[in-house]
Structure 1
Amino acid sequence: MAETTPDAPALPVPSAPVPSAPVPSARALLRERDYLAFWICRWTGGFAGQIQSVAMGWQMYGLARAAGKTVDESAFLVGMLGLASFVPVFLLALIAGEAADRYDRKKVLLCCFAGEIATVLTLALASWQGWISPSIMMGVAFLFGCARAFFAPANTALGPMLVPRELLPRAIAWNSLAWQTASIIGPAAAGFLVAQSTTAAYLTTFGLYVVSGSAVLAIRKSGQPQVSPGSRWQLMKEGLSYVWNQKIVFGAISLDLFAVLLGGVTSLLPSFARDILHIGAQGFGVLRSGPAIGATVVALLLAARPIRRHAGLFMLGGVGLYGLATCVFAQSRILWVSVAALAVLGGADMLSVYVRQTLVQLVTPDPMRGRVAAVSSVFIGASNEFGEFESGVVARFLGPVGAALFGGVGALVVVAAWSGLFPALRKADRLE
C-alpha cells in the first residue's frame, strides 16, 4: 500500500525537536457545560451497555449448559451473540454515517437510546416470564446492533462539536475515561445483579439508558452538522474514499480491527469463569472488570499527561503488549494472575485506542466526521462483535484456552505486519 497521497495530510515527523504548544488544562475542559452533559451520557450509556452485555453473555451460556451443550458448544453460542450484534452494524454503517452528517446528531442519539431501551425491556420481560430462549436473545442482539449502528457515528461526531479544537485531545482522553470507568463498575455490578436475577440486571440497564437520554437533552449547543452537497450515495462514497486515501487513518483503524479480531477474549470469559477457573457469576464480573481496570489507569494518565511525541510507536507497542497479555491470560489458572493479565491487556488497548481516536478526529473535517466514524465503527464493531464470533468458532475446535492463545499470538503477528505495511503510522510523531 502507498504510504500517503498528496491530499492526505500525515502527522509531521520533525528532524529536530520542535517546541510544543501548551496543552490546555483539564479545568478548561470542565468549564464546557455541554461537554459535561455529553460525558455523563457516555458514562451512563457505557455503564448500561456493559451490564446488558455481561448479562446476555452469562444468560446465553447458562441456557446452553442447561440444555446439555458442552463447554465448547456453549462458548460458540456466546460468540454467536457477537455476530448477531455485528451484522447490522456492517449492513447499516454507510447509511448511519450519512445520517450523522445530515441530521441533528443529538436527535439521532435519542432515537438510538429509544431502540436500546426497547431491547432491554424485551429481555427483562422474557426473563421475568420465563420464556427467554437462545433464539429470542439472538433476535434482540440483532436489534441492539441496529441501534448501535447509528449510535456510534452520531456519538463520535457530536463530541468534537462541543469543545474547542485545542481541547480535543484531552477531551478524547476523558471520553475514554468515561467509558473505561463504566466498564469497571459495569461488569462488577452485572456480576452481582445476575447472581440475583437477570431481570434485575436488565431493569438497571433500562434506568441507565433513561439517564443517558436525559443528558443528551441537557446539551444546549446544536448538533446539526453542516451538510455537504451531493446525493446520499455520493456522500457515502466520499467517506469511504477519504478513509482509504488517509493511509495513517486507514492503518490505525485496520490495526485495531485485526488485532482485536484475533486477540479478543471477551466471549471466552464465561467459559473461563465457570469451567476453567471455577469462580461463578461474581467471579465472572471480576474478570470482565479486569481489562477496564487497566484501561482506566492508562486513561487517567493520558488525561493528565497526553502523549506528545512518538504517537505511532506508542500505538504499535500498545497492541504488541495486548497480544502478550492475552497469551499470559490463556495460560493462567490463578484468579489474581488472570485479572492482572486482563488489566495489562486493557491498559495496552486503551493506549492504542487513544492514539487512533485522536488521529482520526484531528485530521477529519466536521462535515465528514459521521461518515468516517461509521467506517471506523464497522472496523471496531468487527474487532469486537465479530471478534467474539471468531473466538467462539476457534473455541469450538481448540477449546477456550487454545482460542485465547491463538488470539494473542495473532495480535503479535499483526503488529509486525502493520509496522512494515504502514511506515507512516510507525513514524507518526505529534498528536497536534
Structure 2
Amino acid sequence: MDQPIHPLRIANFRAYWGSRLAGTIGTTAQGIIIGWQVYSIARQTMDIKQAAFLLGMIGLAQFLPLFLLTPFVGLAADSFDRRWIVRITTSLLVLIAAMLGVLTWAGMLGLPALFGAAVLVGTARAFSGPAYSALAPNLVPRDSLPTAIALSSIAWQVGTIAGPSLGGLLYAIHPETAYAAVAGLHLVALIGIFLIGRVPQPLAESDRHPIARILDGFAYVKRNRLVQATITLDLFVVLLAGATALLPIYARDILHVGASGLGVLAAGMGIGAAATALWFSIRPMRHNVGVKMLAAVIVFAFAILVFGLSTSFPLSLAALIVAGGADMVSVYIRSSLIQLHTPDAMRGRVGAVSQLTISASNELGEAESGLMASMLGPVGAVTVGGVAAIVITLLWARLYPELKLAKTFDPPEIPATTPQYGVAQP
C-alpha cells in the first residue's frame, strides 16, 4: 500500500503552513499585549477582583461579533473563494495592530480603544476561521489530511509558544516595537495566503435559499452525533477549565514574575502542544481515537487544577505544559474527525459551528473566568473549573457512546470520488 504524500511536498500547503505560523504568532502576541495593557490600566484604579472582571470582558468583546456573525460566515466560506476571505481579514488584522501601535506611541491608548480593537479582531476571526479550516482539506489528498492537521497544529502551537513570549518580551523593551512586530507578522501571513494558487471550491447551491443553506450546517452537526459530541465536549471543558485569561493575574499577583514571566507562562501550553503535534506529524494516530480523546481531556482538566492551586512558578509552568500536550491530543482527534466526517460542500458551515463553540469556550470562557475570579478569586475560579471539567468529561462519555466506539478517523462510508488536491489551477 502506497504511503500518503507528505503535505509539505505540496506548494499550496507550504504557503498555507507558513501563513498560519506567522499569523498565529502575531495574533497570540497581540492578545497577550492587549491583556497586559487592559489589566495594567485597570489596576491603576481597581482592586484585583474588579480588574479580573474587566480582563474577562475583553474575551466577551471578541466573542460577541463571532456569535452574531456565525450563521453568515460559514455560508460565505462555502460560497466564495476561501483564499480571498482570509486575505481580507488578515489585512484588517494588520491595520488593527498598526492602529494600536500608533495610539500607544502617542500616549492616547485607553480602555475604549483596546475594547474596540478586541471587537474588530473578533470580527476578523469570525470570517477567517471557517474559511481557513475549510481551505486546508482542499490543499492535500484525503489520506494526507491527518498529517496535514498535525502539521497545521504545529504551526499554531509554535505560534502560541513564540507569540506570547515575543509579545511579552518586546512589550517589556518597547511597547511600540511589540505592535510593529505584530503588524509585520500579519503582513507575512497575508503574503503567504496570496501565494496559494487556485484550489477546488464547492459549487454554491444557487437553487436553495441562503437561510436554508445556513441551517444545513447546524442540522448536520445535530444529525452527526460523533461530530456533535467532539464539538460540545470541547465547548464545556475549555469554557470551565480555561485559565489563560487569568494568566496576567497569576504572573503579577500570585507568582510575582512580571511581564516576562507572563510570556513564559502563556507559552507553556504551546510547548506541550507543539511537542505532541510534532509527534503526530511523524507518527499519526490511527486506532482507538475516541477513548484517547476522553482520556486526554481528563488529563487536561487535572493539569489545570494543579496550575490553579500552585504558587510555584516551575510547577505552574510544568502543569501548563502537560495541559497543552493533553489539549493537543484532543484538538488533533477532534479536528481530524470533523474534517473527515464532513463533506467539502459543508465544511465552511460546519466549521463556523465548530468555531462558534471553540470561541465560546475560549473568549466566552475568558469572560466566565473573569466573572468567577471576581466572585471566588483567581485560585477558586481555576480550581472549581478544573473539577467541573472532569465531571463533564465523564458525563459526556456516558451520554455519547459514539466517542468510545470511534476506533479510527474514517467515517462509515467514504465517497467513491474525491476532487484533485494540491495542484494549482490557472
For the pair 1:190 / 2:167, whether they are aligned, the reply is: yes
- Contact 1:103-1:225 within 8 A present in 2 as well: no
Counterpart in the other structure of 2:93:
116
Counterpart in the other structure of 2:211:
233
For the pair 1:426 / 2:404, whether they are aligned, the reply is: yes
- Contact 1:228-1:367 within 8 A present in 2 as well: no
Cα deviation digits, residues 154-205 of structure 1 (max 9, x gap): 0000011010111001100101011001111111111101102332211111
Counterpart in the other structure of 2:416:
none
How many pairs are equivalent? 409
Alpha-carbon offset, residue 22 of structure 1? 6.5
For the pair 1:337 / 2:315, whether they are aligned, the reply is: yes
Query: Could you tell me which of 105, 108, 128 is aligned with 1:128?
Result: 105
Q: 2: distance between equivalents of 1:105 and 1:216?
A: 10
For the pair 1:299 / 2:277, whether they are aligned, the reply is: yes
Counterpart in the other structure of 2:420:
none
Cα deviation digits, residues 296-328 of structure 1 (max 9, x gap): 111011111111111011111111001100110
Give the direction of change, closer, same or farther, for the CA distance of 1:61–1:23 in structure 2 (3 Å limit): farther
Structure 1's unaligned 5+ residue stretches are: 1-20
What aligned pairs does 1:275-294 form with structure 2 within 5 A after superposition? 275-294=253-272
Alpha-carbon offset, residue 223 of structure 1? 5.8
What letter is aligned with 1:332? S
Q: TM-score, normalised by structure 1?
A: 0.93
For the pair 1:242 / 2:220, whether they are aligned, the reply is: yes
Structure 2's unaligned 5+ residue stretches are: 411-426
Cα deviation digits, residues 391-416 of structure 1 (max 9, x gap): 00000011111111111111101101
Cα deviation digits, residues 40-67 of structure 1 (max 9, x gap): 011001010011100000111111112x
Query: Could you tell me which of 199, 204, 207 is aligned with 1:222?
Result: 199
Counterpart in the other structure of 2:119:
142
What aligned pairs does 1:274-423 form with structure 2 within 5 A after superposition? 274-423=252-401
What letter is aligned with 2:301? G
Q: 2: distance between equivalents of 1:308 and 1:317?
A: 16
Counterpart in the other structure of 2:25:
47
Counterpart in the other structure of 2:421:
none
Q: 2: distance between equivalents of 1:32 and 1:242?
A: 31
Counterpart in the other structure of 1:80:
57
Alpha-carbon offset, residue 228 of structure 1? 2.5
Cα deviation digits, residues 130-174 of structure 1 (max 9, x gap): 111112211110111011000100000001101011100110010
For the pair 1:266 / 2:247, whether they are aligned, the reply is: no
Cα deviation digits, residues 221-252 of structure 1 (max 9, x gap): 33643223412111101111011101000100
SS in 1 for 2:32: helix
Query: Could you tell me which of 80, 83, 99 is aligned with 2:76?
Result: 99
Q: 2: distance between equivalents of 1:84 and 1:292?
A: 24
Q: 1: distance between equivalents of 2:294 and 2:322?
A: 15
- Contact 1:104-1:225 within 8 A present in 2 as well: no
Query: Could you tell me which of 17, 24, 35 is aligned with 2:4?
Result: 24
Q: What percentage of residue pairs aligned between the two structures are identical?
A: 43
Q: 2: distance between equivalents of 1:158 and 1:116?
A: 19
What letter is aligned with 2:338? V
Q: 1: distance between equivalents of 2:86 and 2:220?
A: 24
Q: 1: distance between equivalents of 2:39 and 2:113?
A: 14
Cα deviation digits, residues 331-363 of structure 1 (max 9, x gap): 111111100000001111110011000000001
- Contact 1:191-1:285 within 8 A present in 2 as well: yes
Q: 2: distance between equivalents of 1:235 and 1:118?
A: 32
Alpha-carbon offset, residue 73 of structure 1? 1.2
What letter is aligned with 2:4? P
Give the direction of change, closer, same or farther, for the CA distance of 1:22–1:422 in structure 2 (3 Å limit): farther
SS in 1 for 2:14: helix
Counterpart in the other structure of 1:16:
none
Alpha-carbon offset, residue 220 of structure 1? 1.3
My pick for the range that moved more, 376-385 or 405-414, is 405-414
Q: 1: distance between equivalents of 2:201 and 2:106?
A: 42
Q: 1: distance between equivalents of 2:315 and 2:130?
A: 37
Counterpart in the other structure of 1:13:
none
- Contact 1:59-1:198 within 8 A present in 2 as well: no
Q: 2: distance between equivalents of 1:299 and 1:358?
A: 13
SS in 1 for 2:79: coil
For the pair 1:90 / 2:77, whether they are aligned, the reply is: no
SS in 2 for 1:101: helix
State the superposition RMSD in angstroms. 1.1
What letter is aligned with 1:24? P
- Contact 1:162-1:221 within 8 A present in 2 as well: no
Alpha-carbon offset, residue 24 of structure 1? 2.5
